[in-house]
């Protein structure tokens, strides 16, 4: 919808949002009327260079034409049915994802947090049915982020942060151990533990990559203790880190994997994939969803996955992401540039993150801030070296503009 169709001015839209919406976000202060490729356009038609990708969602570019066409085409046939009839996009997407990743089964959800709820519920039910009623505990990493519904929130290892505080007791059955510390995880294992759940690069936690030794150690702990290895690839998945899935960097395969964000190309969809054996934990009545597997979302996701794979966006993320990170290392006031592929964090030596983020906005580039010192960039994976050069120069000007 455009302002002219709504019969409103930009200021009137801002006022309506402020008056009626419960606001929990620090907004970019413009009305986004149109998006395309690497740009979001404001009400004046001015383009903003997209280095946040709708938080790792718009990986094939904003409004990728093939994703748009697939969604539009599906809107003409079936929008929503609930999961009673078979639908064609569900079936084709299931085949595509399972064969591509080498899993037997998929379950669709609507979002990342819901995909993690499904993963947690499946692990718990599998453990309880196979080993007994107490075998449902899950160990996750400190500083992890798994979502904001009560199960995923309890899995999120940030008990002192705003996302936990004030919401009363968390769901029991979770404990947290230091990321990249195998001994810390080992120390948390009890006879009631059924799984270890990790992000392989902590996104919201500050772009922290798991070391190969850590992942190998966790894999071994899981094998030795009959634990499931659950991996949350909601942010890292679908080519973001330079592989289709981040677990490929580490040479193992998760028992259950959750995904969302980039698979939908902007349509809300999440999913878990697993083996036939573990999938048996879910049977009629045990789990379900009204919208999960929605026809339009699945049709868009199928087009998105084809675009990601056919254009080798994993390879591009690896190559152009490395180019970007090397250029970022030439910036002033940098403590560390880290990440994998196009999941990139720039940490400053001092707390100038908010000023830099605002400086980028003033210079028409969109980035995200984590804490006070870290700018995270998760652009569409179609970003070119020229886009990266532009981003680095905007960052440089924004950093230099902040008083020492
Ligand atoms: C690793 C990870 N898990 C889960 C989530 C939650 O996903 P959603 O916001 O779609 O519920 C996020 C969102 O940022 C995430 O980065």
Q: What is the 3-state secondary structure (H, E, C) of 40-58?
A: EECCCCCEEEECCHHHHCC
Ligand 1 centroid – CA 112 distance (Å): 5
- What is the reported pLDDT for 285? 95
Ligand 1 centroid – CA 57 distance (Å): 11
Q: Whose CA is nearest to atom 9 of ligand 1?
A: 112
Q: Please give the order of strands across the beta sheet that includes 256-259.
A: 105-109, 270-274, 256-259, 228-232, 193-198, 137-141, 174-177
- What is the reported pLDDT for 23? 95
| pLDDT single digits (tens) 295-343 | 999 999 999 999 999 999 999 999 999 999 999 999 999 999 999 999 9
Q: Is 145 in the pocket of ligand 1 (CB under 6 A)?
A: yes
- Best residue for ligand 1 mutational test, from 235, 268, 297 (most atoms within 8 Å of Cβ): 235
- What is the reported pLDDT for 77? 98
Q: Whose CA is nearest to atom 3 of ligand 1?
A: 146
Ligand 1 centroid – CA 4 distance (Å): 34
Query: Residue 10 to residues 15, 32, 304, 365: CA-CA distances in angstroms?
Result: 9, 10, 32, 20
Q: Is 151 in the pocket of ligand 1 (CB under 6 A)?
A: no
Predicted structure pTM score? 0.98
Sort strands 39-41 and 34-36 into parallel, antiparallel or unpaired. Answer: antiparallel
Ligand 1 centroid – CA 101 distance (Å): 20
- Best residue for ligand 1 mutational test, from 56, 113, 241 (most atoms within 8 Å of Cβ): 113
- What is the reported pLDDT for 224? 98
Contacts of 223 by beta carbon, 8 Å cutoff, 6+ apart: none
List of the chain residues with pLDDT < 50: none
Q: Which atom of ligand 1 is nearest to the CA of 203?
A: 16
Residue pair 252/229 in contact (Cβ under 8 Å)? The answer is yes
Determine the Cα–Cα distance for residues 142 and 138; give it in Å rounded to an integer.
Answer: 13
Residue pair 239/313 in contact (Cβ under 8 Å)? The answer is yes
- What is the reported pLDDT for 404? 76
Question: What are the residue ranges of helices labelled H in 329-352?
Answer: none
Q: Is 146 in the pocket of ligand 1 (CB under 6 A)?
A: yes
- What is the reported pLDDT for 403? 87
Determine the Cα–Cα distance for residues 354 and 370; give it in Å rounded to an integer.
Answer: 9
Q: Is 234 in the pocket of ligand 1 (CB under 6 A)?
A: yes
Q: Whose CA is nearest to atom 7 of ligand 1?
A: 112
For residue 278, give the H/E element and its range: helix 276-279
Neighbours of 265 (CB within 10 A): 31
Contacts of 138 by beta carbon, 8 Å cutoff, 6+ apart: 120, 123, 124, 155, 173, 174, 193, 194, 195, 196, 197, 230
Contacts of 283 by beta carbon, 8 Å cutoff, 6+ apart: none
Ligand 1 centroid – CA 111 distance (Å): 8
Q: Is 117 in the pocket of ligand 1 (CB under 6 A)?
A: no
- What is the reported pLDDT for 251? 97
Read off φ and ψ for residue 358, nearest 5 degrees: -65, -40
- What is the reported pLDDT for 296? 98
Q: Whose CA is nearest to atom 10 of ligand 1?
A: 112
Q: Is 199 in the pocket of ligand 1 (CB under 6 A)?
A: yes
- Coil, strand, or helix at residue 205? coil
Ligand 1 centroid – CA 146 distance (Å): 6
* Beta-ladder partners of 272: 107, 258
Ligand 1 centroid – CA 118 distance (Å): 13
Determine the Cα–Cα distance for residues 301 and 151; give it in Å rounded to an integer.
Answer: 25
Q: Is 50 in the pocket of ligand 1 (CB under 6 A)?
A: no
């Amino acid at each position: 919808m455009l302002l002219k169709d709504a019969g409103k001015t930009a200021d009137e839209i801002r006022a309506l949002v402020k008056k009626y919406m419960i606001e929990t976000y620090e907004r970019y202060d413009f009305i986004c009327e149109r998006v395309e490729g690497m740009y979001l356009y404001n009400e004046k038609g001015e383009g903003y260079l997209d280095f946040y990708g709708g938080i790792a969602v718009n990986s094939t570019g904003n409004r990728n034409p093939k994703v748009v066409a697939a969604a539009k085409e599906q809107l003409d046939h079936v929008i929503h049915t609930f999961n009673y009839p078979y639908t064609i996009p569900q079936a084709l997407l299931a085949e595509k994802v399972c064969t591509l990743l080498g899993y037997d089964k998929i379950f669709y959800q609507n979002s990342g947090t819901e995909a993690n709820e499904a993963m947690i519920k499946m692990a718990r039910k599998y453990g309880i049915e196979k080993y007994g009623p107490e075998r449902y505990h899950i160990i996750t990493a400190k500083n992890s982020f798994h979502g904001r519904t009560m199960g995923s929130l309890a899995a999120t290892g940030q008990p002192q942060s705003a996302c936990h505080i004030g919401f009363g007791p968390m769901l029991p059955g979770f404990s947290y151990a230091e990321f990249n510390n195998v001994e810390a995880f080992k120390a948390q294992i009890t006879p009631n533990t059924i799984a270890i759940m990790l992000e392989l690069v902590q996104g919201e936690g500050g772009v922290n990559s798991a070391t190969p030794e850590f992942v190998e150690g966790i894999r071994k702990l899981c094998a030795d203790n009959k634990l499931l290895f659950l991996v949350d690839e909601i942010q890292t998945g679908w080519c973001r880190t330079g592989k289709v899935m981040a677990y490929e960097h580490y040479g193992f395969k998760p028992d259950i994997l959750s995904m969302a964000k980039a698979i939908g190309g902007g349509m809300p969809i999440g999913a878990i994939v697993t083996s036939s054996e573990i999938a048996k934990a879910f049977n009629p009545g045990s789990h379900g969803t009204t919208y999960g597997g929605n026809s339009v979302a699945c049709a868009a996701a199928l087009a998105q996955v084809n675009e990601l794979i056919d254009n080798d966006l994993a390879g591009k993320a690896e190559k152009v992401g490395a180019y970007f990170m090397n250029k970022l290392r030439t910036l002033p006031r940098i403590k560390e540039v880290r990440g994998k592929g196009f999941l990139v964090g720039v940490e400053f030596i001092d707390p100038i993150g908010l000023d830099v983020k605002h400086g980028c906005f003033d210079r028409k580039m969109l980035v995200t801030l984590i804490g006070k010192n870290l700018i995270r960039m998760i652009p569409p994976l179609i970003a070119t070296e020229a886009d990266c050069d532009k981003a680095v120069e905007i960052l440089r000007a924004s950093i230099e503009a902040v008083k020492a």
